[in-house]
């Protein structure tokens, strides 16, 4: 099955443009999505209602022909890139090659992503191509709805994610407590050591990550703190892992909160409440329900328990101080919003549900599952116990 590109066709029609043009390497997820091609240097993808066309360097040509999701792949040499470079210099030559490529498909006006490179756009304009940045998130909206192969890719990344979390939990389980601090193999068990275990496990499963969160005590009370230093007994430890599969480029995302020893009464209560908020938000998921309604379901649980939420008190610095979730795919944060002003959910969207509570006096608690919206509700892609105390 192919994605439904009709909203892009409609948008081009409305904007009076012949095509949608991307000039980026494949680390740009819109490029990766439209081209289906993975390359480290920028190349062009032209989407038109008639087809998708790539313009790549000679170096990438053979591979692009085999791997890209394109009706046609062209190479810059076909448009005399070298000769133009001699005559016009690097920048203008590039634009002239691009303009000739567009002309092959009778395209003289394009809409682009908002982060399309200014230098390329202005140089095309000099050659009388109309270039406008899109005024809505048309393509990111389209790619929020996943095809079966994309769901499989997230499922695979999530499996690796669970294995890496298990490796982290095993380290904590195997640790001894000395003077209130976790020790492993005779040394204090640090956030850094646990992260390394997570990363090595992921790497052996074909996944990579730039950052991961292993945050204990007061660190865990700040949702943006990645955590550092020795882990303490009787404190909550938030582990949030969001790896990317290196081959598919799709992400997973999950969080568990652990405690080695005796959690405080408050952390215990927060944990149970957060588990309840997770279930309430999950129950609210179905096509047509808004991301806001799902967020509200989580907020309601906290509000009824008398705990502050950003929804009810925009100035609060403790309590539930972030969104309930977000879309996940080629980007770890993408559409849809699962928060105030979140739009209607569609079957095939992959989202996280991650309620949590934070207070520097208490610590932090967060539980996060990743799920796919289905025709009649959702399927939970997460297979990991929800248990606070690690023994």
Kindly list the residues in this chain that would bind a second copy in the complex (CB under 8 A): 27, 40, 59, 91, 112-122, 131-135, 196, 199-200, 203-204, 208, 210-211, 224, 246
What's the min distance (Å) between Cβ of 41 and a second copy? 9
What's the min distance (Å) between Cβ of 305 and a second copy? 27
**Cα 301 to Cα 202: distance, rounded to the nearest angstrom:** 34
Name the residue nearer to a second copy (CB basis): 40 or 306: 40
Name the residue nearer to a second copy (CB basis): 156 or 235: 156
What's the min distance (Å) between Cβ of 29 and a second copy? 13
Name the residue nearer to a second copy (CB basis): 77 or 389: 77
What's the min distance (Å) between Cβ of 55 and a second copy? 17
Bridge partners of 366, per DSSP, are: 356
What's the min distance (Å) between Cβ of 314 and a second copy? 9
Name the residue nearer to a second copy (CB basis): 62 or 180: 62
Name the residue nearer to a second copy (CB basis): 203 or 289: 203
Pairing of strands 254-260, 237-241: antiparallel
What's the min distance (Å) between Cβ of 42 and a second copy? 8
Edge to edge, what strands does the sheet with 350-353 contain? 334-338, 325-327, 350-353, 369-374, 377-380
Name the residue nearer to a second copy (CB basis): 59 or 103: 59
The number of beta carbons lying within 10 Å of the beta carbon of residue 4 is: 12
What's the min distance (Å) between Cβ of 223 and a second copy? 10
Name the residue nearer to a second copy (CB basis): 132 or 300: 132
Angle at 332 between CA 330 and CA 333, to 5 degrees: 110
Pairing of strands 213-216, 181-184: unpaired
φ/ψ of 125, rounded to 5, equals: -60, -40
| Burial 101-137, CB ≥16 within 10 A → b, else e | bbeebebbbbbbbeebeeebbebbeeeebebeebeee
Segment holding 6, helix H or strand E: helix 6-15
What's the min distance (Å) between Cβ of 267 and a second copy? 25
Name the residue nearer to a second copy (CB basis): 133 or 149: 133
Name the residue nearer to a second copy (CB basis): 119 or 288: 119
- The DSSP secondary structure of 258-286, one letter per residue, reads EEES---HHHHHHHHHHHHHHHHHHHT--
What's the min distance (Å) between Cβ of 203 and a second copy? 5
259 near 173, Cβ under 8 Å? no
The number of beta carbons lying within 10 Å of the beta carbon of residue 159 is: 16
- Compute CA distances 321 → 151, 219, 227, 237, 336, whole Å: 29, 15, 18, 18, 19
236 near 220, Cβ under 8 Å? yes
Cis peptide before 336 (omega within 30 of 0): yes
């Amino acid at each position: 099955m192919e994605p439904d590109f009709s909203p892009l066709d409609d948008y081009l029609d409305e904007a009076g443009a012949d095509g949608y043009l991307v000039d980026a390497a494949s680390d740009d997820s819109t490029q990766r999505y439209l081209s289906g091609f993975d390359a480290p240097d920028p190349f062009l993808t032209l989407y038109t209602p008639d087809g998708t066309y790539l313009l790549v360097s000679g170096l990438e040509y053979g591979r692009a022909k085999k791997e890209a999701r394109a009706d046609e792949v062209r190479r810059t040499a076909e448009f005399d890139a070298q000769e133009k470079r001699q005559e016009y210099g690097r920048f203008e030559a590039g634009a002239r090659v691009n303009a000739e490529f567009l002309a092959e498909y009778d395209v003289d006006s394009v809409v682009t992503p908002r982060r399309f490179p200014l230098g390329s756009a202005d140089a095309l304009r000099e050659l009388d191509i109309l270039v406008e940045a899109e005024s809505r998130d048309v393509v990111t909206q389209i790619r929020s709805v996943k095809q079966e192969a994309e769901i499989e890719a997230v499922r695979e990344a999530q499996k690796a994610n669970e294995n890496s979390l298990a490796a982290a939990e095993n380290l904590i389980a195997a640790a001894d407590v000395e003077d209130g601090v976790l020790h492993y193999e005779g040394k204090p068990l640090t956030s850094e050591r646990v992260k390394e275990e997570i990363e090595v496990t992921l790497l052996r499963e074909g996944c990579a990550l730039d950052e991961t969160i292993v945050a204990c005590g007061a660190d865990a009370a700040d949702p943006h703190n990645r955590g550092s230093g020795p882990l303490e007994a009787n404190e909550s430890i938030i582990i949030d892992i969001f790896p990317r599969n290196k081959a598919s480029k799709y992400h997973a995302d999950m969080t568990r909160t652990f405690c080695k020893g005796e959690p405080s009464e408050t952390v215990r209560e927060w944990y149970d409440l957060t588990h309840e908020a997770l279930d309430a938000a999950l129950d609210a998921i179905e096509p047509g329900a808004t991301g806001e309604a799902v967020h509200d379901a989580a907020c309601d649980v906290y509000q009824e328990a008398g705990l502050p939420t950003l929804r009810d008190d925009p100035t609060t610095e403790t309590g539930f101080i972030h969104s309930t979730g977000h879309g996940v795919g080629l980007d770890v944060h993408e559409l849809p919003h699962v928060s105030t002003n979140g739009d209607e959910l569609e079957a095939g969207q992959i989202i996280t549900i991650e309620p949590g509570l934070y207070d520097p006096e208490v610590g932090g608690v967060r539980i996060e599952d990743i799920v796919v919206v289905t025709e009649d509700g959702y399927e939970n892609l997460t297979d990991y116990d929800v248990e606070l105390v690690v023994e």
